[in-house]
Amino acid sequence: MILNGPIVCKTTTYESEVSSDSDPFYCARPGPGAELDVHLTDPLTSATITVTGSPLTLYGNGPDQLLTINNTSFALTATNVSSNFSGTALNGLVTQTASNCTNLPPGGRCTLTFTPGPSNVAQTNFLIQGDNTNALTAAITITTAPPELTGINPSSGTSSGNAQVTLSGNHLAGTTSVTLGGIAATNVNIIDSNTVTAVTPGHAAGIVDVNLTTPGGTAILSNGYTYLATSVGQNSGGGKIACLGGGLQNLITTAADYSAALKWGGGAGAFATSNTDGATNTAQIVANVPSAPGTFAASACALYEVDSAGNSPCQIGNACYNDWFLPALTQLNCLYTNKVAIGGFSNIAYWSSTVLSLFLGYYQEFGGGGTAGADRNNPLHFRCVRGFTP
């Protein structure tokens, strides 16, 4: 027992001369009316640690995350604190990749760094312990990161749809659907974790939200896309909208002339006589002209294909447009009428698929618009078209 002796510190509060409530030790000098019992105890051999940040959520193949370790001991340094996943579902699916917990002083903090693998794991407990510490339990969950949608390009397009867009963001791998204005896009193609392409659905003119869904959730790009009223010259369906006259006069044309001037087709015959139905004319020409496939205009159109990304031939994952034909005479005249809005035409003669006589086919001069017949074996330029529903 000590009376009126030196200040003695202990972890119990005394009524006299408490130095500070914030001090982990309470210190006092016993007065005449106070007694302080002092006992000899064995020295401490185990540091006490706690963890902050548990349970910890990691995203599959995502960024590293940290747990903070706290040494609550007053006198002992905690040494070599680390995690142990043995015997748990986390073993092999998450790795402790860094630590500054080799020597953790009393009252100090350090961090353990964890790197996730690709697989999801439900919340699972594991142990953290040092050479001279208690064993504590922490928990980790590995899940799919929620997607982030930051942009769409282009941000506007025709109400008729069938235009490819590129969506940008983060955590887009595993995309299961894309919608514009609540209508599902088609040909959703995952390029990488930051890029997805899709083909727009048809929708009424106006501004709409863009939604992208993955197993991690749904990202929304509010007012992200503007549908424009359908008009000639817009990109759609593998080319450009060329005609909006209804029925057989609803046409999309290729964005450019065919790469070479070709003949209409050799031989004689009174087939392909329609002035309005180029698809039927093209099928009849291909069936009756003895020339090799691809060497005459109608055949070149019938064999042509292009995808929503502009690749020819089509690539897997994109929308493929392969129903092209050589336009009949009135369809060709519609292209002439709208040539400025469509773009890319030259002031030269273009083949139609309409026959004029046994040896002649109709063409139209795009300089002045006149039509006439030419020998079927003469090479002329041409544009392929396909029908669509606006």
Q: What is the pLDDT along the chain (390 residues), one digit of tens a residue?
A: 455 555 555 544 333 334 444 454 455 566 666 665 655 554 678 999 999 999 999 998 889 999 999 999 989 999 999 999 999 999 999 999 999 999 999 999 999 999 999 899 999 999 999 999 999 999 999 999 999 999 999 999 999 999 999 999 999 999 999 999 999 999 999 999 999 999 999 999 999 999 999 999 999 999 999 999 999 999 999 999 999 999 999 999 999 999 999 999 987 778 999 999 999 999 999 999 989 999 999 999 999 999 999 999 999 999 999 999 999 999 999 999 999 999 999 999 999 999 999 999 999 999 999 999 999 999 999 999 999 999
**Structural contact between residues 54 and 111, judged by C-beta atoms closer than 8 angstroms:** no
97 and 21 in a common domain: no
pLDDT for res 5: 56
32 and 59 in a common domain: no
pTM of the model: 0.77
pLDDT for res 270: 81
Q: Where are the beta strands (DSSP E) in 130-258?
A: 136-143, 148-153, 156-158, 164-170, 177-180, 183-184, 186-192, 195-199, 206-214, 217-228, 235-236, 239-244, 250-253
Question: Tell me, what DSSP letter sits at residue 325?
Answer: B
210 and 101 in a common domain: no
245 and 322 in a common domain: yes
Domain that holds residue 19: 1-41
31 and 64 in a common domain: no
90 and 18 in a common domain: no
28 and 54 in a common domain: no
d(CA 298, CA 384) in angstroms, rounded, equals 8
357 and 243 in a common domain: yes
Helices (H), the chain: 278-288, 297-303, 329-337, 339-342
154 and 139 in a common domain: no
Output the domain CATH number for residue 196. Answer: 2.60.40.10
22 and 152 in a common domain: no
What is residue 183's three-state secondary structure?
strand
309 and 289 in a common domain: yes
pLDDT for res 26: 52
Cβ–Cβ contacts within 10 Å for residue 65, how many? 18
Phi and psi at 19, nearest 5°, equal: -75, -45
- Give how many domains the chain has, as a whole number: 4
